Chains A and B, each alone.
Chain A
Amino acid sequence: MSRLLAGDPLIALWTVWCLAALAALVAACAILLLARHALGVRRERRFRRRVGQAARLLAPALAGATPAAPLLAAARCRFGRAVVVTVLRRARRMLGGEAERRISELIEQTGEPARLVRVARRGALLRRARALELLGECGGETARRELLRALASREALLRRRAREALLELREPFAVRAAVAAFVAEPGRSSSAVRSFFLRLAAWAPGELRRLAANGRLETRELKLALEALAEAADAAAAPLAIEAVRSPASELRAAAVRLLAAVADPRWTRLLTRRLDDRAWFVRAAAARGLGGLALEPHAHEALGRRLADGHWWVRANAAGSLARQGACGIRQLTSAVRGGNRFARQAALPVLLRLGGPRPGAHPLGGRRAAVG
């Protein structure tokens, strides 16, 4: 210790040498990481470029204009299996009916589903989950069989991916199997439920309606189902929403109001207008926002006008935005609010009227964040 304190030249030299070695090691690691990243980016760009080239080559065959077999063979020879399969999978996502079946058969011919089945059965969990996801995009018999098998997996993640991938097959039997597996799944997380319902509402809204109507969903899940049906603007789900609007659960009422607003059917205008007086502020906000997309009668304009003085700013903002979308009648309500004695109503109406001077076409007068809430 005394030698170190005294500044022994040997120790100093040793310290400098250690620090230099450490710095060189860090620099080498950084260079390696950068090189790896650069190589990865380059490889990715090259892959994307080749996918584009293969798509141009295969497009006439995928569109059904020319026989597929010779072009597919040529594309495989030139670009390799991975590139060709990527093109086929993406094309399958876009096309339906006969074209979809034809593409699924082409994918089957490449041997990709069989390879994915092998990946899905062993190895790292995330890799297996990704393989199941890709099997859903491939379609066809091999994929269906493996996905049905994965529904009984011991891993919750694999079961979830298998259910979602079965929906991607867009076949009634696969959809029903996925729904049955979903119902039997213990301890469903909100994110899993939301993700499943959004897919189900998009591909098979009827199945989701049936699931929501049979009373086996918890309130939290029923709300997510209504939200998913609202995202799909499923008009046939209106009876479900009308029932949910009377629910004692305010979250459910808000989801039902959003669904009725998304359907944008004038028959539900009166129902939505009544929800402007709901005891929960977010139900009132949803109703105020939803009414903006409908052609309203004077009594609804007046009801929206009254909400400009609501106790919650979000309701006021949505009411002002919706009135702005109603043309002259709405503007009259906003103008009278600006001239009136209520400070809240004035503050809600004035910025909207100012923005109406030069609105962007289609933009909600209150912008993205506020507009998204109702």
Chain B
Amino acid sequence: MKPDSVARAPEVVLWEDDPVRRPLLTAILEGSGLAVTAPALAGVALERAAGGGCRRLVLDANVSRPSGTEFLRELHHRLAGHLPPTLALMQPGQASLRAAVRELGVARILPEPFEPDELVAAVRSLARPDERAA
């Protein structure tokens, strides 16, 4: 059973296809009290991210099949351009990929390597427009 703080926390959908990074990112975010859904399949991640419960999306821009940009495009298509607040994790450099994900509406980019606290702070800084208004 999850503690109360976790149960009440806004849901974060994490899309990461690497079997090492996915549990590690999940552990970092859950350790800070965020409720995380981290599907292993892109299709499921898309469904969760496009569902109403997704309040924040964290994705690795360097995933393959589908690529980070393909994933975001599909999400754009499903949500008619209204992406949830999104954080993209990227390797350093990659200016062209960074520009591409920015154009696709990613709110924040966190270059690797990062400290666990930096990740948590970056995810917490993401806020939906309705949350910002409140």
Contacts and interface: CB of A to CB of B under 8 A. Distances in A.
B104 A64 contact: no
Contacts of B26: 59
Interface string A72-107: 000000000000001100110111111110000000
A63 B19 contact: no
A65 interface: yes
B112 to A, nearest CB: 5
15 contacts: A52-B23, A55-B19, A60-B27, A63-B24, A63-B28, A90-B21, A94-B24, A95-B113, A95-B114, A95-B116, A202-B91, A202-B93, A228-B93, A231-B94, A233-B93
Interface stretch (B4-12, B47-55, B95-103): B95-103
A55 B95 CA distance: 30
Nearest to B101: A362
A121 B19 CA distance: 32
Contacts of B99: 262, 264, 293
A12 to B, nearest CB: 56
B115 A99 contact: yes
Contact of B27 (A59, A228, A293): A59
Contacts of A233: 93, 95, 98
Given A63-B28, A63-B31, A231-B93, A55 B20 contact: yes
A55 B116 CA distance: 16
B24 A91 contact: yes
B93 A201 contact: yes
A341 interface: no
Contacts of B104: 361-362
A362 B113 contact: no
Interface string A30-56: 000000000000000000100110011
Interface residues of B, number: 34
A52 B19 contact: yes
A281 to B, nearest CB: 21
B79 to A, nearest CB: 11
A81 B23 CA distance: 19
A362 B23 contact: no
Interface in B37-91: 69, 72-73, 76, 81, 89, 91
B92 interface: yes
A96 B73 contact: no
Contacts of B100: 362
A230 B96 CA distance: 9
Contacts, number: 99
A99 B100 CA distance: 30
Interface in A215-230: 228, 230
B113 A202 contact: no
Contact of A94 (B19, B72, B112): B112
Interface residues on A, range: 35 or more
Contacts of B114: 94-96
A94 B18 CA distance: 12
Contacts of B28: 63
A62 B27 contact: yes
A232 B93 contact: yes
Nearest to A95: B113
A313 interface: no
B20 A51 contact: yes
A231 B112 CA distance: 15
Contacts of B105: 361
A170 interface: yes
Interface string A309-352: 00000000000000000000000000000000000000000000
Interface string A241-268: 0000000000000000000001010000
A183 B22 CA distance: 39
A360 B72 CA distance: 11
A121 to B, nearest CB: 29
Nearest to B98: A233
A182 interface: no
A203 B31 CA distance: 28
A198 B98 CA distance: 16
B102 to A, nearest CB: 9
Contact of B23 (A55, A95, A230, A363): A55
A99 B69 CA distance: 29
Contact of A361 (B22, B27, B81): B81
Contacts of A363: 73
Interface string A292-309: 010000000000000000
